Chain A
Amino acid sequence: DSGVTQTPKHLITATGQRVTLRCSPRSGDLSVYWYQQSLDQGLQFLIQYYNGEERAKGNILERFSAQQFPDLHSELNLSSLELGDSALYFCASSVNGYEQYFGPGTRLTVT
C-alpha cells in the first residue's frame, strides 16, 4: 500500500459524459501527478501539481482538466468522453519531486 488513495476504483460511463476522478496523496506529499495508461499508448504523463499550483503539463487533452485543493487532494475532470479515453488513470504523489508513489488507479470504461 503506497498511501495514495484514488476513488472510484472503477467507472463505467457513456460517450459524451463527464466524470471526476479523485486522488488523496500520501500525508506530507505536496506534489500530485496524473497519468493515463492504455494498452496502445502506454503510460502517459498528464499533469503535475505542487501545493495547489500547476507545475508541469504533459499530453493532457483540452477536454481534461485538473486541480489540487488546499487540503492537497486532487481531482481530474474528464469531459465529452470518447471511447478512446477508456484507460487506467493513476495518480502519484511525491514529497520531494523524486520518487513518486502511485495510487491503485481508477479504471475508466467509456461505452
Chain B
Amino acid sequence: QQPVQSPQAVILREGEDAVINCSSSKALYSVHWYRQKHGEAPVFLMILLKGGEQKGHEKISASFNEKKQQSSLYLTASQLSYSGTYFCGTENRDNYGQNFVFGPGTRLSVLP
C-alpha cells in the first residue's frame, strides 16, 4: 500500500524551512528519501532504518518514528537547488520478502 505524503506541494522563499511527512499503514523496515528534478532521475538523500540507524547527506536531516510508521524530512535554510519533487520510499520485510513502495511525491518550489 502506497505511503501518504504531505503536503502535496509547497512553495518557499530562499532561506525558509520546510518539513515533508510520510506515513504508512504497514510496519516499516526502512524509509528512503529521494529528490527528483524535472526530466532527471531520482537522487538518493537519506535512508532511515528500523533501530535508529541513518545514512545520508550531511545537510539533510530526517526522523523515523517506527511506532507510528512515520518519517519526516527536514529542509532547513532552503536553497534554489532544493526545488524538485521529494519521494519517500518505504520498505517492508515479511515472510514473503522485501517490498518497496514509493509515495506520490511532494513538489517543492524554492523562489528567490
Question: Interface of A with B (CB < 8 Å)?
Answer: 2, 33, 42-45, 48, 55-58, 90, 92, 98-105
Contacts and interface: CB of A to CB of B under 8 A. Distances in A.
Interface of B: 2, 32, 34, 40-44, 47, 49, 55-56, 87, 89, 97-105
Contacts of B43: 2, 102
Given A98-B47, A100-B32, A43 B97 contact: no
A2 B97 CA distance: 27
Contacts of A2: 41, 43
A35 to B, nearest CB: 8
Contacts of B87: 42-43
Contacts of A102: 34, 41-44
B42 A43 contact: yes
A43 B2 CA distance: 10
